[in-house]
């Protein structure tokens, strides 16, 4: 009805409805306010620039904000909600190339992982080499774990060493070939049993290394919220409350929370006399 197909998503229907209302504004007067989807009166957003800034102070980039929320949803295990947010907002947590890269790492497809890493578009050559080193190091240890010593040596000589970085680490990897106990010291023992967790740890290390515009740091939203709460607590002049801080309101202790009633009285003169008497001075 109204020239809009019912099969279209709500976002398209809202856009179409606003166009129809605009065309009618010259011919008729609407006496009642239009209630948007959700049933609440919402203030229209001001015209936004190229970076799509949101917030009352104009310092929050919408794309970053949505990506961080999406990342938080996935971290909390709300995978469906995260996927819906990506689809509805049109803002994806990761690019298709980064999603492919993450899958290849978790699947242990090391050669394809390195190739895909070079296609992500990293401008910093040092970051590219360091990330490649981490991936190939994992490949090296998993080969050793499967007793493929010659393949591990080949990886070390022809793939890791040519990167020409972290020579001390390269020497440590060499010692792992002749001394299995060295793998325990480096934290790469029993990879055959715990390969999944080890690859997840590798992905976390890569995430810290790569720029946040490529891969959003894990638990970034939690970090920002904790940081804001700490700032509020440190700025609270009368702070002495042991209660947990709330996210619903800004934290501020009032003057009424300052202790104003004496709970213990100590007679210093009696205490001093007793001490003097006991010591026999």
The set of residues, in sequence order, having a beta carbon less than 8 Å from that of 167 and lying 6+ positions away, is none
Mark whether 44 and 138 lie in a shared domain. no
Cα–Cα distance for residue pair 173/123, rounded to 1 Å? 28
> If DSSP codes are grouped into helix, strand and coil, which group holds residue 54?
strand
Whole-structure pTM value: 0.66
Q: Does 228 fall in a domain?
A: no
The closest of 94, 49, 50 to 70, measured between CA atoms, is 94
Q: Which residue reads 């809202």 in tokens?
A: 14
Helix H or strand E segment including 205: helix 195-209
Mark whether 121 and 78 lie in a shared domain. no
Mark whether 83 and 118 lie in a shared domain. no
- What total number of domains does the chain contain? 2
Cα–Cα distance for residue pair 119/113, rounded to 1 Å? 10
Q: Does 219 fall in a domain?
A: no
Angle (CA) 61-63-66 rounded to 5° is: 105
Mark whether 30 and 121 lie in a shared domain. no
Domain hosting 129: range is: 96-209
Cα–Cα distance for residue pair 3/148, rounded to 1 Å? 67
Mark whether 110 and 186 lie in a shared domain. yes
Mark whether 148 and 64 lie in a shared domain. no
Mark whether 205 and 132 lie in a shared domain. yes
Which of 155, 174, 209 is the C-terminal boundary of a domain?
Answer: 209
8 A C-beta contact, residue 136 and residue 113: no
Which of 163, 178, 209 is the C-terminal boundary of a domain?
Answer: 209
The closest of 144, 98, 87 to 121, measured between CA atoms, is 98
Q: Does 133 fall in a domain?
A: yes
Q: Does 21 fall in a domain?
A: yes
8 A C-beta contact, residue 131 and residue 117: yes
- The separation between the first and the last C-alpha atoms of the chain, rounded to the nearest angstrom, is 102
The closest of 173, 108, 109, 175 to 141, measured between CA atoms, is 173
Each residue's pLDDT tens digit in the chain (281 positions)? 444 444 544 444 444 444 444 444 444 444 444 444 343 333 444 444 445 898 888 899 999 999 999 999 999 999 999 999 999 999 999 999 999 999 999 999 999 999 999 999 899 999 999 999 999 999 999 998 888 999 999 999 999 999 999 999 999 899 888 877 676 666 665 555 567 888 999 999 999 999 999 999 889 999 999 999 888 888 886 666 656 678 888 877 766 555 556 666 665 555 565 555 555 55
What pLDDT sits at residue 189?
A: 57
């Amino acid at each position: 009805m109204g020239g809009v197909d019912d099969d279209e998503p709500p976002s398209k229907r809202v856009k179409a409805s606003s166009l129809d209302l605009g065309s009618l504004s010259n011919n008729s007067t609407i006496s009642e306010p239009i209630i948007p989807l959700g049933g609440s009166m919402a203030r229209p957003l001001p015209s936004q620039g190229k970076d799509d800034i949101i917030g009352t102070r104009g310092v929050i980039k919408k794309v970053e904000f949505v990506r961080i929320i999406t990342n938080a949803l996935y971290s909390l295990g709300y995978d469906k909600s995260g996927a819906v947010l990506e689809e509805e907002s049109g803002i994806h947590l990761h690019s298709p190339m980064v999603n492919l890269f993450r899958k290849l790492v978790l699947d242990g497809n090391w050669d394809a992982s390195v190739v895909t890493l070079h296609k992500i578009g990293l401008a910093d050559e040092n970051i590219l080499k360091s990330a490649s080193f981490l991936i190939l190091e994992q490949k090296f240890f998993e080969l050793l774990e499967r007793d493929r010593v010659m393949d591990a040596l080949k990886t070390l000589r022809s793939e890791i060493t040519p990167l020409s970085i972290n020579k001390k680490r390269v020497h440590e990897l060499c010692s792992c070939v002749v001394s299995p106990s060295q793998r325990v010291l480096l934290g790469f023992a029993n990879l055959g049993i715990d390969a999944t967790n080890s690859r997840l740890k590798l992905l976390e290390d890569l995430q810290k290394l790569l720029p946040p515009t490529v891969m959003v740091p894990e638990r970034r939203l939690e970090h920002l919220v904790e940081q804001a709460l700490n700032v509020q607590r440190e700025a609270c002049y009368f702070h002495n409350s042991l209660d947990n801080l709330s996210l619903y309101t800004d934290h501020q202790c009032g003057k009424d929370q300052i202790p104003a009633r004496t709970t213990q009285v100590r007679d210093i003169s009696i205490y001093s006399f007793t001490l003097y008497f006991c010591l026999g001075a």
